[in-house]
Amino acid sequence: MSELEFKGEVAVVTGAGIGIGFEICRSLALEGAQVILNDLDELLAESAAEKIRSEGGVCQALGGDASDPKFAASLIGHAVERFGSIHIAIANAGITTYGAFLDYTVEEFQKLVSLNLQGSFFLAQAAALHMKTQNTGGRMLFMSSVTGHQSHPYLVPYGMTKGALRMLAKGLVGELSQYAITVNAISPGAVLTERTTGDDPTFEDGWCGTIPMGRVATVQDIANAALFLVSDKASHITGQTLLVDGGWTATSQVPKLQIPED
């Protein structure tokens, strides 16, 4: 029988009560990792972790706000306390706020930057400090987006944060490679999740016609890419952003969507 790929490894994933983060936690846990699953919604985090445990995975919930640097550090500290070490840190939590550039408010901007950038940056810092002390190397992953590669109307501040995450992955190479820590990002295209279909019932149909592969991504498509980038198979890949978009950025047609109003 083949050994589970992540046996003995400890992972932290933020914003993982549903959607992409949940599927990453589930896939890691079913491949043997011990996982700390975070979500802002404590009850959701607990029920998500319970689902993974019911499938045989090792997963513990920790509710809290991933935009708060102190909480991000405590997430990593908790993983080390509970499971003895930290190998994989995935800054998945991110909010998507739609809004016209000419109307965008300072409050909306700060909320977006606080989670998408500050939260990701300080989760990585806390993880790197532990990985350096452990001297075991490590894997970091940021969740970018196709909107961080191409212009996308009404998602400009969001796209700006996602573009910055790609640069964060690249930038950290210069300081973290000496500790055998790899730092990469994934840029999903349109992904079918509870949120995307909830925001816009036409989401799937709207995108299908503009994606060369003819379908939107599943959360499993994104989790597959994530597991590769945090595995030993990717130990010589760092500073990279992997687009998982069915070819969308090769053509970049923006579909006509119903933009949700606040």
Ligand X SMILES: NC(=O)c1ccc[n+]([C@@H]2O[C@H](COP(=O)([O-])OP(=O)(O)OC[C@H]3O[C@@H](n4cnc5c(N)ncnc54)[C@H](O)[C@@H]3O)[C@@H](O)[C@H]2O)c1
Choose between 55 and 194: whose C-beta lies nearer to ligand X: 194
Residues known to be catalytic: 145, 158, 162
Burial class (CB in 10 A: 0-12, 13-18, 19+), 86: buried
Name the residue nearer to ligand X (CB basis): 32 or 206.
Answer: 206
Between 95 and 180, name the residue whose CB sits nearer to ligand X: 95
Residues with Cβ within 8 Å of residue 144, at least 6 apart in sequence? 162, 163, 165, 166, 169, 185, 186, 187, 241
Name, in order, each residue with C-beta under 8 angstroms of 226's C-beta and a sequence gap of 6 or more: 24, 27, 90, 141, 186
* Residue closer to ligand X (CB basis): 64 or 138: 64
- Please name which of 99, 90, 97 lies closest in space to residue 14, comparing C-alpha atoms: 90
Residues constituting the chain = 262
Q: Minimum CB separation from ligand X for residue 17, in Å?
A: 4
Is 127 within 8 Å of 89 (Cβ atoms)? yes
Binding site for ligand X (CB under 6 A): 14-15, 17-21, 38-41, 44, 65-67, 92-96, 115, 143, 145, 188, 190-191, 193-196
Nearest approach, Cβ of residue 66 and ligand X (Å): 3
46, 49, 50, 51: CA torsion to nearest 10: 130
State the nearest-atom distance from the C-beta of 137 to ligand X, in Å.
25
How far apart CA 216 and CA 146 sit, in angstroms, is 13
Which of 159, 137, 131 has the alpha carbon at shortest distance from 254?
159
Closest contact distance (angstroms) between CB of 207 and ligand X is 9
Joined together, the tokens standing for residue 220 give 């499993």
Nearer to ligand X, 124 or 143 (CB): 143
Q: Nearest approach, Cβ of 147 to ligand X (angstroms)?
A: 7
